[in-house]
Every structure is written in structure tokens, then in C-alpha cells.
Amino acid sequence: MKLGDRGTLTTGVMIVAAITLPFLAFVVVREISNRIMGGDIDRGLALGQLCFDALILPTAAIGFYLAIREFRGSQSSPQLILQWEVDDGARTDALSLTDYGLQGHDFGRIVLHNQGSAVGIWYLVRISLPSEILLPWREIELNGETVAELPDHAWLPLAGEKGENWQDKPTRRSLELQFMSMGKVASYPGHTLAICQVEFMPHADKADPKIHEVHYEIFTDRGKPKPGRLTIKMDRAF
């Protein structure tokens, strides 16, 4: 048995319990019959059966719970992460952009990579992009409320459709994107899916390169949400 193999350990515990409990019940019945019931086997057996039930039922309940937990843990699940895709098709967590001044634009393609062994069918991705490196947007009045109006090409979906799979929410500090697969956009094990492209207007305000962080969360139909982080490094062209 491997150290740390919880499935094997659980099985071993249940086997030991299955062997030990009947023997313990026999000892209890014999002692009850001899010492308490004065050798009355029938009454001893009845009380012994009650004791046996009291011992076996909690053990059975615990064993059932452990078996269900081990079964669920043994089931494969998708392991989804976000990365940048660069020009040569390679993936990276750190994207490097060059600042060419106010007229310089650049693009970043975000891809979803499945590191697990199961197909991802139902999942949700939330991405937070810092507004200081994005195309500027303007605020307009709509039905008495001030709302942000994004340029049409500020970002583009590469998987799914805006409105159906995608929602965006620009704020003063960030652009919040949300992608829902809706059970229609699958992520296959070992494969990469390009989900969106973002247009940047990088501004390197300092002589030293500045690194911006893009935070994200991925929710699947199993397990807890998985947070992650990508980076964008700004370099001056001159």
C-alpha cells in the first residue's frame, strides 16, 4: 500500500472493521450471557444483537460516506487555466508589449488550456483587465444613468458570442469580462481554445518596464473556483 493512497487506506480500514466487529460482537454476547444473564443464551443473544447493531450502524454509515467521497475524488475533471498566446502559437503567462507612443496599439490573445483528463462542458471564466493599458472608453448618459461606452474593437470574442456567452463591464479601474460556456463551447483535454482578443494601448510612463496584472477566476461544475493571474510587461520602444 502506497503511503498517502487514501483509497487503498480506506479499503484497508473497512476490511479490518469487517473482520473485527463480528469477533467483538461474539465476545460481547458471550460476556453478557455469562456474567449478566446468568448463562441465559437467548436473552444474551438478544442484548448482544442490540449491542452489535449499535456498533455496526455508525461504522456502516462512516464507510458509506468514505466510499462516496473516494468515488467522487476518483472521477476525472477538467483542469482549466488561462494563458496568453503569442505570434508563434506558444503559450505563456507573461506577455511582453512594446510602447510606441500614443499611436501604438498591440493585441493580446487569451486562450483556455485544459490540463486535466476530462472534457470541460460547463464552466465560467471571469477576467479583470487593467484599464490603463486598454483603449480609452467614454462615458455617456443612458436613461438618466452614466454608462461606459467601449470602442467596438476594444475586445473581440473568439469563442462564443457577445450577449449569449460573453458579458463586459467597464469600470474606471478595469474591464471585467465574463465568459459562460453554456454547455456549448467544450474544452478538450490537452487542447487550447482561443476565447478572446484584447486590443491594448500600452503606455510605459517610467524608464523601467512596468508589469500589469490580469486576474481571473474559473468556475466548473465540480470543485471550488480556481483563481489565476497573468501579467503584461510594458517596454519602451525608444
What would the pLDDT profile of 181-210 be if each residue is shown by its tens digit? 999 999 999 999 999 999 887 654 544 567
Q: Look at residue 231 in the predicted model and tell me its pLDDT.
A: 94
The sheet with strand 123-130 has its strands ordered as 94-99, 226-236, 210-220, 123-130, 174-180, 166-170
- Domain borders along the chain are 6-74, 80-236
Q: Look at residue 200 in the predicted model and tell me its pLDDT.
A: 84
Q: Look at residue 87 in the predicted model and tell me its pLDDT.
A: 79
Q: Quote the Cα angle for 161-94-85, to 5°.
A: 40
What would the pLDDT profile of 7-27 be if each residue is shown by its tens digit? 555 556 666 665 666 666 666
Q: Look at residue 206 in the predicted model and tell me its pLDDT.
A: 47
Q: Look at residue 4 in the predicted model and tell me its pLDDT.
A: 43
Q: What is the pTM of this model?
A: 0.64
Asked if 70 and 10 touch (Cβ cutoff 8 Å), the reply is yes
Name the class of domain 80-236: mainly beta
Contacts of 53 (CB under 8 A, 6+ apart): none
Q: Look at residue 153 in the predicted model and tell me its pLDDT.
A: 76
Residue with cell 458509506: 64
Residues of the chain with pLDDT under 50: 1-5, 74, 204, 206-207
The rounded distance, in Å, linking the Cα atoms of 98 and 40 is 93
From residue 40, give the alpha-carbon distance in Å to each of 25, 34, 35, 37, 160.
Answer: 17, 8, 10, 5, 77
